[in-house]
């Protein structure tokens, strides 16, 4: 395919070409925004590596009733409105990996932004939240810690 054929296709299919251009811009914007947000979205497999390394602080921002129904082993439950850079779980962990988890990702992203603003360097958010963890067939623990 050469440039002339590509231009002819675009001329015959203006809506399809416009949609392709819009999707391309959206993907580029999303990728660039991800580089500057200050935290990393990680997949369940990456989280298991951090957990196995043994030095990650794993914070579950789910409601207590949801936490008791199932959570990642080793995670500690904190309410989003009580969590921040000075919370006892993370106050001394500015150099350690801090992983934030919840059911939807909304609370985790907000908490990650607050930690980044406070100078934390290794902030991670579980991409897809706990549904992604269970979809990867990884185990949950029931009850309080």
**pLDDT, tens digit (0-9, with 9 covering 90-100), for 91-134:** 888 888 999 999 987 889 889 988 988 888 899 999 999 999 99
Sequence-separated contacts (24+) of 86-95 with Cβ below 8 Å: 89/57, 89/59, 90/57, 90/59, 90/115, 90/120, 93/57, 93/120, 94/119, 94/120, 94/121, 95/121, 95/122
Q: How confident is the model at residue 1 (pLDDT cuts 50, 70, 90)?
A: confident
pLDDT of residue 36: 66
pLDDT of residue 70: 93
Q: How confident is the model at residue 68 (pLDDT cuts 50, 70, 90)?
A: very high
pLDDT of residue 102: 93
Q: How confident is the model at residue 80 (pLDDT cuts 50, 70, 90)?
A: confident
pLDDT of residue 34: 63
């Amino acid at each position: 395919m050469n440039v002339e054929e590509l231009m002819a296709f675009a001329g015959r299919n203006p809506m399809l070409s416009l949609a392709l251009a819009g999707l391309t811009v959206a993907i580029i914007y999303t990728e660039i925004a991800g580089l500057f947000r200050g935290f990393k979205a990680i997949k369940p497999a990456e989280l298991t590596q951090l957990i196995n390394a043994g030095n990650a602080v794993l914070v579950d921002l789910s409601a207590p009733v949801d936490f008791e129904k199932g959570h990642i082993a080793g995670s500690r439950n904190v309410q989003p409105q009580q969590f921040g850079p000075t919370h006892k779980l993370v106050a001394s962990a500015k150099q350690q990996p801090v992983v934030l988890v919840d059911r939807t990702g909304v609370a985790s992203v907000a908490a990650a932004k607050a930690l980044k603003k406070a100078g934390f360097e290794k902030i991670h958010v579980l991409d897809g939240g706990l549904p992604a963890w269970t979809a990867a067939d990884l185990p949950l623990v029931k009850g309080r810690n």
